[in-house]
């Protein structure tokens, strides 16, 4: 079994058609993203799906910035969020109210009454937020509906994620510490505006390739390297696979950003915390880094030299 495509995204196209595709597999990037949190296995699995979906959507990001897929609800899982930036750095976070009874539940059952949104946050410029209906059995169906309704681009998405080998029926990888490694993989096909082929030809390619892609098994998605899988699925039609784009975990939190967040909270609130706790501790939920401020650090935040 080759693992050549772990933590890689491959873009592909079919010759003479207006249909594009993407395939991604995440492994070490997930382990790194989970390293500071003890998430239950079903939540790791779902975070794997969210990060995979976010990676598949990253082409929507046409400028420097980040794309976030975020769901909030009133259920056992009040928040789940995955983010990718233009350098293909990923991070994720989930809040979960219980460790029991989470297995084999749908996204909607875990979230309860809630909203799924796609947030595009350019480094320069205005933030865009699209709301995705929480309809359908799973994340891929919700996203397919979103693309059809808001972008008018027919899209098919397959997601597969495993953090234990019982569900997936595959040989699960172990990391250096002997822990089971979550692996997640996804495949996307998207119909583009007509350009290279006639409407009829595109429709035929779409139907055929969509049908072939739907035969992909979880095992194939999770264990085969991308080129082998794409050749196996689409060998009858010329499929052109572009160079791999590596994906890695990295957190964009920083002292400067934490300073800004604290400044927004205001000096009286922070001074109150200092009086009660003796210090202000800010935890990054994405990477676990702790930013610690004492009394004089807080005072310094509000002195004219540091206020811009």
| Interface positions with Zn ion (CB under 5 A) | 251, 253, 284, 286-287, 289
Residue with Cβ nearer Zn ion (270 or 284): 284
3-state secondary structure of 85: strand
Beta strands in the chain (DSSP E): 8-14, 19-26, 65-73, 79-85, 89-95, 114-122, 128-132, 155-162, 183-191, 239-241, 245-246, 248-249, 280-283, 290-293
Residue with Cβ nearer Zn ion (132 or 280): 280
Burial (CB count <10 Å: 0-12, 13-18, 19+), residue 237: middle
Distance CA 252, CA 298 (A): 22
CB of residue 250 to Zn ion, shortest distance in Å = 9
Residue with Cβ nearer Zn ion (289 or 302): 289
Residue with Cβ nearer Zn ion (142 or 251): 251
CB of residue 51 to Zn ion, shortest distance in Å = 15
Residue with Cβ nearer Zn ion (59 or 89): 89
Distance CA 164, CA 43 (A): 12
CB of residue 227 to Zn ion, shortest distance in Å = 34
Within 10 angstroms of residue 65's Cβ, the number of other Cβ atoms is: 16
CA distances from 175 to 27, 241, 272, 285, 288 (A): 10, 29, 44, 23, 20
CB of residue 283 to Zn ion, shortest distance in Å = 9
CB of residue 45 to Zn ion, shortest distance in Å = 23
């Amino acid at each position: 079994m080759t693992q050549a495509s772990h933590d890689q995204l491959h873009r592909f196209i079919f010759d003479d058609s207006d249909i594009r595709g993407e395939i991604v597999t995440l492994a070490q990037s997930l382990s790194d993203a989970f390293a500071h949190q003890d998430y239950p296995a079903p939540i790791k699995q779902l975070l794997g799906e969210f990060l995979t979906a976010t990676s598949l959507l990253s082409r929507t990001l046409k400028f420097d910035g980040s794309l976030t897929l975020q769901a909030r609800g009133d259920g056992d899982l009040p928040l789940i969020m995955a983010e990718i930036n233009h350098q293909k750095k990923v991070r994720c976070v989930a809040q979960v109210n219980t460790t029991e009874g989470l297995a084999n539940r749908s996204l909607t059952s875990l979230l309860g009454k809630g909203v799924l949104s796609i947030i595009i946050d350019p480094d320069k410029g205005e933030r865009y937020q699209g709301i995705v209906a929480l309809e359908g059995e799973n994340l891929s169906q919700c996203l397919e509906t979103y693309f059809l309704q808001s972008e008018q681009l027919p899209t098919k998405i397959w997601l597969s994620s495993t953090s234990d080998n019982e569900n997936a029926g595959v040989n699960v990888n172990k990391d250096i510490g002997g822990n089971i490694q979550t692996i997640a993989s996804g495949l996307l096909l998207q119909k583009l505006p007509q350009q290279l082929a006639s409407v009829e030809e595109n429709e035929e390619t779409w139907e055929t390739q969509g049908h072939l892609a739907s035969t992909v098994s979880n095992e194939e998605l999770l264990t085969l390297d991308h080129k082998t899988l794409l050749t196996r699925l689409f060998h009858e039609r010329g499929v052109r696979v572009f160079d791999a784009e590596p994906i890695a975990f990295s957190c964009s939190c920083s002292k400067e950003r934490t300073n800004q967040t604290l400044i927004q909270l205001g000096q009286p609130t922070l001074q109150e915390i200092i009086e009660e706790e003796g210090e202000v501790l800010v935890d990054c939920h994405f990477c676990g880094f702790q930013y610690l401020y004492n009394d004089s650090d807080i005072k310094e935040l509000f002195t004219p030299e540091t206020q811009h």
